[in-house]
Chains A and B, each alone.
Chain A
Amino acid sequence: MEHARTEPNYMAVFYWLAALTAIEVGVTFLPLTKLAIGAMLVVLAFTKAALVALYFMHLKFERRTLALVAITPVLLCIFLMFMLVPERFIAPQRAAEVPQQSTTSR
């Protein structure tokens, strides 16, 4: 049993993805602060990821609840990121112990 598939313009999505990739590489050469470049790259990357998820993976045309399944790992990873912030306060000591060259056992 086949339900009617709404087909987006796949080639248009492809051109956007290709253009965004080129823009991403170009942004790294801009004379801006690392923070500004980083922020732009994150936005560009997530836009590309969203395009792939929504159109190639057909998420835009599925039930909304499926999008909740898909977005859950993103939310959990953001939570994970904030969970690692306390590491900042004990990290400086650990970072000093990181071996510079080849293997050393701790």
Chain B
Amino acid sequence: MSQAAAIRITPTEPVEYSLTDTLGKLGMWMFLAGDAMGFGALIVGYGALRFFSPNWPVPASVLGIGLTALMTFILICSSVTMVKALSAIARGDQGRMRLFLLLTIVGGLVFLGLQAYEWTHLMTDKGMGITGNPYGSAHFGATFFVLTGFHGMHVTGGVIYLICLLVRGWLGKYSAAHVYPVEIAGLYWHFVDLVWILIFTFVYLI
């Protein structure tokens, strides 16, 4: 290759990303993969502590399965509204995008409210704490609050993220030609839903 051909300031043809059509989407997937490792480490650690513990209580007898099943359903619904928001903006429908984004935010807030209620009930009525509980191993309370708290923080961050997205949507930043910020936020929100599906199964049901 000659010297002149070796130096190129800007590409002369469109650059094709190999993995995803935008770097932002790839970046979000990479972040989610790392975040999944964080949650994975917590869940596997919880599993190891529980499996080797001689006095772990049956979660269904302490934790409210009905309420948590409702929370799971609400989060799934918010994932649906999120994907419908993306579908709307891909068609250029600004109004429906804003509506579905708002519904997604509401779903997230309801989830957080129910989580806060559940935590309060468990701490005050059932005496569960991060350092001990009356039902068995102290790790039961510790792993529960750390796992659900870590996830709750992710939902909180996601709600703030979506509110910023909604504000920018109102300012008309998104269109059928520029959907990627909505798509990328959607990836994060679905990840949060996915992690909750796993937490619900491994912490509450099993």
Contacts and interface: CB of A to CB of B under 8 A. Distances in A.
A92 B80 CA distance: 45
Given A77-B40, A101-B132, A21 B138 contact: no
A66 interface: yes
Contact of A80 (B40, B60, B72, B134): B40
A70 B20 CA distance: 13
Given A52-B194, A57-B190, A100-B55, A7 B87 contact: yes
Interface string A9-25: 01100100110010011
Contacts of A28: 60, 65, 205
A101 B55 CA distance: 12
Nearest to B68: A25
B120 interface: no
Main secondary structure of the interface of B (DSSP, over half): helix
Nearest to B41: A80
A102 B37 contact: no
Contacts of A32: none
Contacts of A94: 52
B36 interface: yes
A56 B15 CA distance: 27
B54 to A, nearest CB: 5
Report the contact-size class of chain B (Cβ under 8 Å from the partner).
35 or more
Interface residues of A, number: 55
Main secondary structure of the interface of A (DSSP, over half): helix
A72 B79 contact: no
Given A10-B84, A57-B190, A80-B44, A52 B197 contact: yes
Interface of B: 14, 18-21, 26, 29-30, 32-34, 36-37, 40-41, 43-45, 47-48, 52-55, 60, 65, 69, 72-73, 76-77, 79-80, 82-84, 87, 90, 129, 131-132, 134, 136-139, 176-177, 179, 183, 186-187, 190-191, 193-194, 197-198, 200-202, 205-206
